[in-house]
Chains A and B, each alone.
Chain A
């Protein structure tokens, strides 16, 4: 039988006449941070990549990038800023579909979008508690991929809505399966990661195990991979439900469990998933996507 295989990311094809600084084998751009994982997945930091080279490879592929975000209940107030900032910074020059999942479609503002970009409002039901809402996202994304977005996008990113883009987020973020390193735990030993530590949970990660602590606010990849990933996470979430247990950080715990056994093919540094309440350390040269300051008591009501 034929064994032709093409499992990895799309091949880079460059047009001639592109001039850029020669990469130097003995001069790494970033010596202060880890830029490759032990399984040889790149960790994307400012300085590690050349946007021009990547754009010249990805633009001709005519890709459509999807973004999912959930605006339930009072979270609809974040949609405007999210979209406006995305229009300025997210995948400029590419086709983008924003999928805003909401229980209140009329409250979604009509934001002016660049050509080639469109907004799709996906009505969903509102669950009773914020934890339930959070955990049902995996199921909703999975269902929506099967019903619609798998035919509409090549890559899909699943982002939190209560966040804003501050700097460029481009094709350097594209990969088969992409996770982001949580800003609160990138400089901390694995024993301090807030993994689910109860062995009765399907999200359980024992002491002594773990690569990174990934944030639930950002993940993505090829639409097929995101479909598989969200399905698995939803299954483990349901398994816990059946056993009357809820993981420490809801679906983020399940996401971390999944990425320990099925390692992402690319990691985004905390530049891509920042928390504005944190002071900016020297390793963070650029904040691309960050939380909006909010009063949790008010909006999680």
Chain B
């Protein structure tokens, strides 16, 4: 790939189609005997996306490797019976209902960090948070597995820093000062080692709570906080916008 950046200035690879050989990576991953988890939220009307998400994920997400899917939902009875690939497991976790969807995203970070501490860290080595509305159209394999992974947003990848959607009001904990910023990362797909995802979700949920107490809401909610965190804790691997292409584009 000569047309795109495949390495960040801090030498983290940016994963694009054509840059990697999945066979080599599969062989390396298998040697580690790792388990990867996926956490997703199906709250209120988003329950309708569960079937599509799970059927495409079963087919395309880390096919052939063990994956634990953790689906948080306020409506567990509405989750249809899903056929899982033999290596995969599905865990439906019931949630208390919340008034606004922004509230859900505020708590998402908090929920993930609490569940990592109480449960996920005993069950998986790597954990990825993926938006339920995402439909996988192609294989997503072990090229995504690394210590701290962010995905470049498909909306913003060509934009200059000044026009990126960072939060700029200094009153918010998610504020990124002028002249700073590497990439704009999407909150629809991020992850890494369970330890690093714990640190990320803790830091973001703290920022979100502080903002709430100060009566301010970051421009893009948890995504703004995610971007601040990944600016100052640079990912060890980036996924190109291919990994989270928004159908609306």
Interface residues of A in 1-60 (CB under 8 A from B): 1-9, 11-16, 18-20, 22-29, 31, 35-36, 38-42, 44, 48-50, 53-54, 57
Contacts of A4 on B, CB cut-off 8 Å?
121, 193-195
CB pair B7–A42 under 8 Å, yes or no, is yes
The yes or no answer to A263 lying at the interface (CB within 8 A) is yes
Q: How many A-B residue pairs have CB under 8 A?
A: 140
CB pair A48–B11 under 8 Å, yes or no, is yes
Interface-facing stretch out of B47-55, B132-140, B175-183 = B175-183
CB pair A22–B125 under 8 Å, yes or no, is no
Contacts of B4 on A, CB cut-off 8 Å?
25-26, 28
CB pair A13–B232 under 8 Å, yes or no, is yes
CB pair B147–A6 under 8 Å, yes or no, is yes
A266 to B12, CA, bound (A): 10
CB pair A14–B234 under 8 Å, yes or no, is yes
The yes or no answer to B20 lying at the interface (CB within 8 A) is yes
Main secondary structure of the interface of A (DSSP, over half): loop
Interface residues of B in 198-243 (CB under 8 A from A): 231-234, 236-237, 240
Main secondary structure of the interface of B (DSSP, over half): loop
A89 to B49, CA, bound (A): 57
The yes or no answer to B146 lying at the interface (CB within 8 A) is yes
Contacts of B232 on A, CB cut-off 8 Å?
13-16
CB pair B9–A25 under 8 Å, yes or no, is no
Query: Which of A15, A23, A44 is the most central at the interface, judged by chain B CB atoms within 10 Å of its CB?
Result: A23
CB pair B236–A3 under 8 Å, yes or no, is no
The yes or no answer to A252 lying at the interface (CB within 8 A) is no
CB nearest neighbor in B for A33: B2
CB pair B123–A50 under 8 Å, yes or no, is no
Q: Min CB distance, B152 to chain A, in Å? A: 6
CB pair B10–A57 under 8 Å, yes or no, is yes
Contacts of B237 on A, CB cut-off 8 Å?
40
CB nearest neighbor in A for B178: A19
The yes or no answer to A172 lying at the interface (CB within 8 A) is yes
CB pair A22–B182 under 8 Å, yes or no, is yes
Binding site for A on B (CB under 8 A): 2-15, 19-21, 24-25, 28, 32, 34-35, 121-126, 143, 146-148, 152, 157-158, 160-161, 177, 179-183, 193-196, 231-234, 236-237, 240
Binding site for B on A (CB under 8 A): 1-9, 11-16, 18-20, 22-29, 31, 35-36, 38-42, 44, 48-50, 53-54, 57, 172, 263, 266
Selected A-B contacts with CB under 8 Å, 5 pairs: A15-B232, A16-B180, A29-B5, A48-B11, A54-B11
